Structure 1
C-alpha cells in the first residue's frame, strides 16, 4: 500500500501540533472540518511517534471508527506493535493491564468530557494527549481547557471548498408541511426528547419527505438521518414502495448484515440509506451527494456531522443538503459558516448570537446574508419637517407568509425596505421594512418615529394600510381584512370589517369578470387558514349565492355588501 501524501494544510497541522505539544503539559486539541482528512493527520502523527520508539494509545467511542483507523495506520506504515487502538470503554476497563503509552490520541474528542474519557485521562495524568474534532462544542457549553492546554485550528470549510478538498453544496430547508416545532421538548441532556419529536413530526410525513427528495435530489445517493428506528424504517419502506432502493440500518442491525448494507451503499446497489445516529462520524462515501435531515436537534455537533456527510470531494460534484426540520435556522449556521472556535474551546458562548441566516421562501435555499447582496429602496419620503430617513441595518425579518415578489410591489406599499436577493433563484429572500406609526407623527426634534414591522402590532398596522386592489394573493387579502378588524380600522367607506373571510371573497369576486374564485385560490386560503377545503368552499358557495353584483365598473364593494357580513 502507498502511504498517504499529506496536503500542505494537513502537514501544517502536524507541525503545529508537535510544536505546541512540546510546550504544554496536558495536551493539544486539533480542530478541522468534517471531511478534511483528520484520519490522515492522526496516522501521520502516530507514524512519527512510533518511529521514535514511543507507544501510541488511540481511542474513540465507536468500534467502527477503530476499524477504519487501523486501516489508516497500516497504510501510513505505523508500527502496529507500538499501538493500542480501542474504544474508550475498553480502555477504561483495562487500566493497569495495558502498556503505558507515550501519547494518547483521541478522535471525536468533543465526547471527551464523558466519565469514561476522564477516567483514562486521570489514570494517565502524566501522559500528553492530542484530541481531534470537527466541532469542540458541548450542549452544556463547557469548554475544554481542563483537558487541553491549547488548540490547533485547520482550514475553514469555505477554504476547503475553494481549494477542491470539499464539495460545494446547496442547502435547502423545505420544512415538512405538518412539522409542529412548538411540540419539541428538551431532555436532561439538552437535546429534544424522542417522544416530542414523534409528536412534532406526526405520522404522515413520509410522503412529504419523498416528494421533497424527488424535487431537490432525485437520483442522488442519499443518507437520511432520523430520530428513531421506527421512523427510519418507515421512511425506508416508503421510498422502497415508490421504486427507490432504500434500506434502514441501525446499531442493533447484526454486524455482518450492517457491513453488507454499508458495502452495498458504497457500491451503488442501495440509493438511499436511512439510519439513526449511526452514519455520521468517520463514515466515508465520496459519491454520496445528499444528506437529508429529518431529525430536529439542538446539537451543533450532530448537525455538522450529519449535514456535511455528503460533502466529500469528487471532481464536478455539488452536494445537496435537505434540512426538513429547520436545524439551520435553529442553530444559526450552515456548513460554510466561519465559526469562532476559540469561544467554544474556552466555553465562552453562553450568550450566542445567531448570525444572518436567510431562508428563501420561494426555492428554500439557505444562505448567509452578505453586504454585497444587500441594497435599499426608499419608498416613502418623510414629511417635510421630518429628518431624512437613514438607511439603517434592521436585523429583524419580515414574516414570510406572503412576501412581495417584485420591487414594484414594495413601491406600491410606499415603505422603507432593505431587500436581500436569494443567491439561488434571485427572488427577494428577505425583505426588512420599517413603518411610520403615522405620516405626521414626529418627535420633538422633528425626527420621524418609526415602528418595527416585525412586531405583531407593527405587522398589523402595515397590513391594515395596504390596498386590496394591488394584489390577487388571497392570503394577503385575508390578512389585510383581519388586521383592519383587529385594529378597528374601517374601510374607505367607513364600514367596520367584522368578517374578513367574506370581505376577502367580495374583493376577489369583484376582480373576476365572472365573479368567481378559482379552486386553486380557495385551496390556498384553506391552507392559510389551516381549515379543511370543504369548509372554505362551503363559505364561498354561500357568499357567491347571496352577493349580487350590479355594474361591475361602478360597484362600491363596501356599500353593496349585505349587512349580514358586517
Structure 2
C-alpha cells in the first residue's frame, strides 16, 4: 500500500529523529489517520534487512488488525513478534531481541507491564504511537521518550479529505457535579448515580431524529446500562447488541461479524472498541459515558470518521463531554512535558451541595431536600417543569461559535463579566472550577 503524503512525511520525520540520535520517540497522529499503515511501512523496511520487530498493545483486536495490515503490506512476518502486553510480559526471556519496538496506543506506556518489556531491550529503537500523548493527570512522557513528533491535526486531515466531516450534537449545558473522580477519571458509582432512567428515552429519540437507519456505535459506562439501552433499541425496532470485556470471545466475534455485515444497526459496548479497531461503515457515535480523559473522548468521537464519499458523521454526546474537551477537531498543542493543571486564583469556597435529578437532570441544592424542585414525584410535572425538561433537547454544536465563545471568555478578568450560562461554563472550564460553581453563580445572580 502506498503511503499518503502526510504519512510519508511522518516516516521521514521519524528517520530524521533517529539520525539525530534519539532512541525513544513519541509519534502523535490522530485516530483514523492510519498509524498502523505507517508502522507497517517502517516494519517492512526493517524486516527486508532481516531486523527483528516487536509490536505490542493492550488489546487483542488491535493486534489482530496489525497482523492483517502488516501482511497486506508484505512485511516479512518471520522477523516480527506481535502480542498483547499481558502475554509478552510473562515470556520476556523467550522473545528474540528486537532492533525496533513499536507500541500502539502508547499513552499507556507508563504502566509497569509496558515498562518491564521496554526495559528488557535497552538497545532497541522505540517508537510510541498515540493520538494523545498525555496522561489523565496532565503528565507527559519526558521520562520515557527523547523526542515528540506530531502529525497533521484532525482539522487538517478533514480539510484534505482524509477524515470525514461531522455534525456534533450535545446538551447546550449539562451539570455533572455529582460525578466523582478516582485515578483521574470518573468513578463507576458516581456515573451510576448521575446517569439513570431519564437519558434512555432521549437516546432512542435522538438516534431516530439525527441518524435513523445508520450504523452507530454507542459507548455506555457499565454493562447494566448497555443492556438496558439495547433493550430500548430493539423494542423500538432497531437491531442492537451489547459487547463488553466479559463477553465470551466466540460471541464477541459473532456479534462483530454481524455488525460489519450490517445485520446490526447499533453496537453498544462498555470499554471496548475505543482504540485501534477499524469499523469503516459506522456513521454515528453515541456517547453515554462521561470521561475526563481526552484520549478516550477522541477515541469515542473519531470512531465514525472514516472517510467515505458523501459521508457526514453524526456525533451524539448525551453527557456533555465536549464541555470538558472541546470539539474533536479543535487544534491542540502537544508537548513531551504534558500540560499544567494549576488551579486558578479564584477559589470555589462556599459551593452548594449539588444533586442532579435522575429523572429530568435538573440540578439543585440538596442540603435541605431530597425532592427535585423541577420534576418532584408529587404532584405531577407542571408546564414550566416540562419546559425545563425540553431544554435537554440536544443541539448542534458549531465549531465557529465554540471558538468565538472561548476567545471572548479568555479576556474576562473575573466571573462577574460573564453574561450567560454558556459564558459561565466556559469560564469554569478555563479556570478549572468544579461543576457546581456554575449553579452557584446562577443562584447568586437570580437566574434560577
Deviations 1:242-277 (A, max 9, x none): 100011111211112211211111111100000011
| Residues 156-179 of structure 1 deviation map (CA, whole Å, 9 limit, x = unaligned) | 111111111100001110379xx8
| Contact persistence 2:52–2:99 (CA under 8 A) | yes
| Deviation of 1:286 (Å) | 1.7
Give runs of aligned pairs for residues 198-213 of structure 1, distance below 5 A. 198-213=192-207
Aligned pairs for 1:314-393 within 5 A: 314-331=308-325, 333-342=326-335, 345-351=336-342, 364-369=395-400
Report the Cα distance in structure 1 between the residues aligned to 2:270 and 2:309, rounded to whole angstroms. 29
Query: Structure 1: how far apart are the matches of 2:281 and 2:114?
Result: 34
1:137 maps to which residue?
134
8 Å CA contact retained: 1:175, 1:323: no
User: Where does 1:165-564 land on structure 2 (aligned, <5 Å)?
Assistant: 165-174=162-171, 181-187=176-182, 189-331=183-325, 333-342=326-335, 345-351=336-342, 364-369=395-400, 394=412, 397-400=418-421, 456=442, 459-460=445-446
Q: How much has 1:455 moved relative to structure 2?
A: 5.1
1:272–1:140 CA distance, 2 compared to 1 (3 A): same
In structure 2, distance between residues paired with 1:337 and 1:230: 33
Cα deviation, residue 209, structure 1: 1.5
- Larger-Rg structure: 1
Query: TM-score normalized by structure 2?
Result: 0.79
TM (norm. structure 1) is: 0.63
2:58 is aligned, of 32, 57, 61, to 61
CA contact (8 A) 1:32 1:133 kept: yes
Q: Distance in 2 between matches of 1:62 and 1:193?
A: 22
1:110 match:
107
How has the CA–CA distance of structure 1 residues 352 and 247 changed in structure 2, closer, same or farther, with 3 Å as cutoff? farther
Aligned to 1:50: 47
Counterpart-to-counterpart distance in 2, 1:307 and 1:393:
29
Q: 1:27 aligns with which of 17, 24, 29?
A: 24
Instruction: Tell me the alpha carbon deviations over residues 437-492 of structure 1, each in whole angstroms, 9 at most, x when there is no partner.
Output: xxxxxxxxxxxxxxxxx9558844xx7xxxxxxxxxxxxxxx6xxxxxxxxxxxxx
**Paired residues of 2:133 and 2:338 also in contact (CA < 8 A):** no
Contact 2:99–2:123 (Cα < 8 Å) also in 1: no
Cα 1:352–1:26 change in 2 (3 A) is: farther
Residues 456, 118 of structure 1: alpha-carbon distance in 2 compared, 3 angstrom cutoff? same
For 1:518, the equivalent position in structure 2 comes to none
Tell me the SS of whatever aligns to 2:25. strand
Q: Any conservation in 2 of the 1:47–1:77 contact (CA below 8 Å)?
A: yes
284 and 372 in structure 1: CA distance in 2 versus 1, 3 angstrom threshold: closer
Q: Which has the higher contact order (CA 8 A, sep 6+)?
A: 2
For residues 392-439 of structure 1, the C-alpha deviation after alignment (integer angstroms, 9 at most, x for no partner) is: 9558654449xxxxxxxxxxxxxxxx9xxxxxxxxxxx9xxxxxxxxx
d(CA) in 2 for partners of 1:9, 1:251: 35
Partners in 1 of 2:418 and 2:255 — Cα distance?
45
SS class of match (2:395): coil
**Structure 2 SS opposite 1:182:** coil
Alignment check: 8 A CA contact 1:175 1:325 kept? no
Decide whether the 8 Å contact of 1:26 with 1:147 is kept in 2: no
Specify the SS of the correspondent of 2:181: coil
Tell me by how many angstroms 1:211 deviates: 1.3
Any conservation in 2 of the 1:161–1:168 contact (CA below 8 Å)?
Answer: yes
Change (3 A) 1:224 1:370: closer
Pick closer, same or farther for the CA change 1:459–1:102 going to 2, 3 Å: same
- Gaps of at least 5 residues in structure 1 are 354-359, 375-391, 402-417, 419-429, 431-453, 464-478, 480-566
How far apart are the structure 2 equivalents of 1:116 and 1:397?
47
- Residues paired across the two proteins, number: 382
Structure 1, residues 113-149: CA drift from partner, whole Å, max 9, x if none?
1000111111112211001011112112221122111
Change (3 A) 1:301 1:373: closer
> 1:211 and 1:160, CA in 2 relative to 1: closer, same or farther beyond 3 A?
same
Secondary structure of residue in 1 paired with 2:167: strand
Deviation of 1:373 after TM superposition, in Å, equals 6.5
The residue matched to 1:280 in structure 2 has which SS?
Answer: coil
* SS, match of residue 181 in structure 1: coil
